[in-house]
Amino acid sequence: TTTIPAPASADHLPTTNAATVLTGIFAKKKKEQLQKYTVAEIERLYFFGRDLGMGNFATVRQCKHKKTGKVCAAKIIDKSLCSSKRDMIGTELAILKKVRHRYVVGMDEVFDTSGHLLLILDYVSGGE
């Protein structure tokens, strides 16, 4: 088997403390909290359609922005089911906030409700 050697130094890589991205979501620090939204406020912005997929702690639904007509995918994360996955979700958010590339699914918005975190992502048709 062939192994890929580790780089000599990772000093050139940016470091992000993924846990700090979600500290507000899980109410650790007030100054870093995401703005809270009600479901009604989000539904004033988006139409929500059919389910696209389900995971252990999230559901993905098709949605459409009411003003622009842009079709998106809403990843709806149940915060009560993923409190132990805070670092993993923080990493996902940190990456999605930074990466903009035509071959990578992008994130348009993040909404924080009392029980859920909604990530509004680019919609990619054609299955998994």
Checking if the pLDDT of 94 tops 60, the result is yes
E-only strand ranges, the chain:
46-54, 58-65, 71-78, 107-112, 116-122
**pLDDT recorded at residue 92:** 84
DSSP 95-122: HHHH---TTS--EEEEEE-SSEEEEEEE
- Most distant CA pair in the chain: distance in Å? 55
Q: Is 31 helix (H, G, I), strand (E, B) or coil?
A: helix
User: Which pLDDT band holds residue 98 (cuts at 50, 70, 90)?
Assistant: confident
Spatial contact of 53 and 61, defined as CB atoms under 8 Å apart: no
Question: Alpha-carbon distance 106 to 100, whole Å?
Answer: 6
Q: Which residue has the higher pLDDT, 24 or 46?
A: 46
* Burial label, 63 (beta-carbon count in 10 A; 0-12, 13-18, 19+): buried
User: Which pLDDT band holds residue 33 (cuts at 50, 70, 90)?
Assistant: low
